[in-house]
Structure 1
Amino acid sequence: MDRQILWDCHMHSSFSADSDTPMEVMIHRAVETGLQGITFTEHLDPDYPVTPDNLDFSLNIPAYKEKLAELSDIYKDKIQVRFGIELGLQMHLGEYFDSLLSQTPFDFVIGSSHLVHGYDPYYPEFFEGRKEFLCYMEYFESILENISAYDGFDVYGHIDYVVRYGPNRNREYSYGRYKDILDEILKKLISMGKGIELNTGGYHYGLGEPNPCTAVIRRYRELGGEIITIGADAHTPDKIACAFDKAASVLEACGFRYYTIFKDRKPEFISL
Structure 2
Amino acid sequence: MDRKILWDCHMHSSFSADSDTPMESMIQRAVELGLKGITFTEHLDPDYPATPDGLDFSLDIPSYQKKLAELSDTYKDKIQMRFGIELGLQMHLGEYFDSLLARVPFDFAIGSSHLVHGYDPYYPEFFEGRKEFLCYMEYFESILENISVYDGFDVYGHIDYVVRYGPNKNLEYSYGRYKDILDEILRKLISKGKGIELNTGGYHYGLGEPNPCTAVIKRYRELGGEIITIGADAHTPDKVAYAFDKAATVLENCGFRYYTVFKDHKPEFISL
Corresponding position of 1:91: 91
Residues 195-210 of structure 1 mapped to structure 2, 5 A cutoff: 195-210=195-210
Corresponding position of 1:144: 144
Residues 236-251 of structure 1 mapped to structure 2, 5 A cutoff: 236-251=236-251
Measure how far apart 1:184 and its partner are: 0.1
- Which amino acid counterpart does residue 198 of structure 2 have in structure 1? L
Corresponding position of 2:223: 223
Residues of 2 paired with 1:33 and 1:89: CA distance?
Answer: 32
- 3-state SS in 2 of match to 1:224: coil
Determine whether 1:16 maps to 2:16.
yes
Residues of 1 paired with 2:115 and 2:9: CA distance?
Answer: 22
Corresponding position of 2:122: 122
Residues of 2 paired with 1:167 and 1:54: CA distance?
Answer: 23
- 3-state SS in 1 of match to 2:197: strand
Measure how far apart 1:2 and its partner are: 1.4
- Which amino acid counterpart does residue 27 of structure 2 have in structure 1? I
Residues of 2 paired with 1:205 and 1:171: CA distance?
Answer: 13
The CA deviation string for residues 79-105 of structure 1, in whole angstroms up to 9 with x for no partner, is 001100000000000000001000000
Gaps of at least 5 residues in structure 2 are none
Residues of 2 paired with 1:269 and 1:151: CA distance?
Answer: 21
Corresponding position of 1:159: 159
- Which amino acid counterpart does residue 199 of structure 2 have in structure 1? N
Measure how far apart 1:31 and its partner are: 0.2
Residues of 2 paired with 1:2 and 1:49: CA distance?
Answer: 44
Corresponding position of 1:28: 28
Corresponding position of 2:269: 269
- 3-state SS in 1 of match to 2:13: coil
Per the normalisation by structure 2, the TM-score is 1.00
Residues of 2 paired with 1:156 and 1:90: CA distance?
Answer: 13
Corresponding position of 1:6: 6
Gaps of at least 5 residues in structure 1 are none
Residues of 1 paired with 2:134 and 2:191: CA distance?
Answer: 27
Over aligned residues, Cα RMSD in angstroms? 0.4
Residues of 2 paired with 1:29 and 1:6: CA distance?
Answer: 13
Residues of 2 paired with 1:171 and 1:106: CA distance?
Answer: 37
- 3-state SS in 2 of match to 1:82: strand
- Which amino acid counterpart does residue 256 of structure 2 have in structure 1? F
- Which amino acid counterpart does residue 166 of structure 2 have in structure 1? G
Corresponding position of 1:179: 179
Measure how far apart 1:47 and its partner are: 0.1
- Which amino acid counterpart does residue 86 of structure 1 have in structure 2? E
